[in-house]
């Protein structure tokens, strides 16, 4: 998933990662790790 998104729009990938990080910090989302 990373490569196709990054090659088309690196800003979209950054925004998506930022939103997931914020959701994780707020307790709305937990990573699979």
| Predicted local confidence at residue 32, as pLDDT | 74
Q: What is the DSSP string of the chain?
A: -HHHHHHH-HHHHHHHHHHHHHHHHHTS-----
Residue-number span of the structural domain to which 7 is assigned: 1-33
Number of domain units in the chain: 1
Residues with Cβ within 8 Å of residue 31, at least 6 apart in sequence: 20, 24
pLDDT tens digits, 1-33: 555 655 678 888 899 999 989 998 999 877 676
pTM above 0.85, yes or no: no
| Predicted local confidence at residue 18, as pLDDT | 94
């Amino acid at each position: 998933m990373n490569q196709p998104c990054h090659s088309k729009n690196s800003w979209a990938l950054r925004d998506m990662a930022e939103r997931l990080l914020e959701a994780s910090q707020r307790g709305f989302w937990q990573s699979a790790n």
